[in-house]
Amino acid sequence: MNESQTISKQPPALKSMQYETLRELGIRHIQELAGKLWTDYNTHDPGITILEVLSYVLTDIGYRINYDIKDILAQKLAGSDDYDIKNFYTAREILPVCPVTFNDFREIMIDVEIIDERGAEPQFYGVKNAWINSSPDAELAIYVDKKNSELSLSDNLDVQGWERFYVKTLYDILLEFDKNTIYGDLNENTIEGDFILYEFPALTILQGLKIAVEITFPTWDDALDWANYDRVRHGVRDVSLKLLNVADNYGLTYAVADDKKIILSADVNSKPIPVLDNLMTQLNDFLYDPVEGLIVKYVEKINIIHQIVEEVKVSLHQNRNLCDDFFRVNA
């Protein structure tokens, strides 16, 4: 017959495990420190409740530290002299998973990745590097009148006596985007391409003419309707052309019109070129055609950048610390 298990009525040998002793010592200490102010030591008193919780916690700690260090670190397997080392937690299990330092937040941003599966093979775009800095200002300034202890959000106040102040709880983000074989460096607001004149019946000797083109577009953070190609074209900052494979005795000069289209003209020292308007049309279609022009490639690049920035914002706000917020995102 198995011996019945009972709980001993004798107090534990160690005082650190004796609840009543700890409670009594706690009350005695309270009496010595605040006996003139605190006279109610009954169980209904909130302070006594806190003392009782602390006394219980101490008994639990006392019980734990009474174990042999081998038993604390690893459980002994039944019927064996071996210890189960699997009781140790892995770093993934025991370390915090939320970002703590600026470098943690930088790692979160660098891990952002956008996948484009429209082509034959998926393309990956993301953040190469990222930095966080305290923002020198905020969305709204607070105006302070120190003499009269007044605050205001209005910027139409008499400047005398009022000082502008920003709450310094915001951070600015600086991103460096990845490079890609399709769109080049995502940090640059330029697109390059080579225009080749395949067919030109009016002057077949010019067939094979090559013009290296570089267009400088607005940057990704410009306030622009990127779905409106006419607006994007009018926002172009510069167009650079370099003529290659030009037949002998023929030369071209170019100018950029107000609407950013290219105007070609024959060089004054070269032979005249017939139906030059046809060549200009082909070249401007190569630049700005809303289906196949370089402008389409740049707008696709901008859309990818916007996706990356939005994903960065989502990741940051999902992991931000209490009272912290992110203001500007620059690249």
Strands 163-165, 113-116: pairing kind: unpaired
> What's the confidence (pLDDT) of residue 158?
61
Whether the pLDDT of residue 156 is over 70: the answer is no
Q: Which residue has the higher pLDDT, 220 or 247?
A: 220
Which of 1-10, 81-90, 304-313 reaches the highest mean pLDDT? 304-313
* Interval 170-183 mean pLDDT: 90
What does the block give as tokens for 80? 């064996």
Binned at pLDDT 50, 70 and 90, residue 283 comes out as: very high
**Would you put residue 260 in left (φ > 0), alpha (ψ -120 to 50) or beta?**
left
Kindly state the DSSP code that residue 128 receives in the 8-state scheme.
E
Q: Give the pTM.
A: 0.65
**pLDDT score recorded for residue 226:** 94
pLDDT digits (tens, 9 = 90+) for 15-63: 889 999 999 999 999 999 988 888 888 989 999 999 999 999 999 998 8
Q: What is the mean pLDDT of residues 89-100?
A: 72
Judged by phi (left if over 0) then psi (alpha if -120 to 50, else beta), residue 39 lies in alpha
Short-list 176, 182, 172, CA closest to 118: 182
* pLDDT score recorded for residue 21: 93
Q: What is the pLDDT of residues 304-317, one digit of tens each?
A: 999 999 999 999 99
Q: How much is the pLDDT for 203?
A: 85
Q: What is the pLDDT of residue 137?
A: 84
Please compute the mean of the pLDDT values over residues 212-228 and round it to a whole number: 93
169: three-class secondary structure by DSSP: coil
CB 293 within 8 A of CB 261: no
Determine phi and psi for 140, rounding to 5 degrees.
-130, 140
- Residue 67, both tokens: 């174990």
The predicted structure's pLDDT at residue 85: 61
**Distance, CA of 105 to CA of 123 (rounded, Å):** 25
Q: 235 and 222 in contact (C-beta within 8 Å)? A: yes
Q: Tokens 């600086």, residue?
A: 174
What pLDDT is stored for residue 56 in this prediction?
93
Confidence (pLDDT) at 295: 95
Q: What mean pLDDT is reported for the chain?
A: 86
- Binned at pLDDT 50, 70 and 90, residue 77 comes out as low
* Euclidean distance between CA atoms 279 and 200, whole angstroms: 8
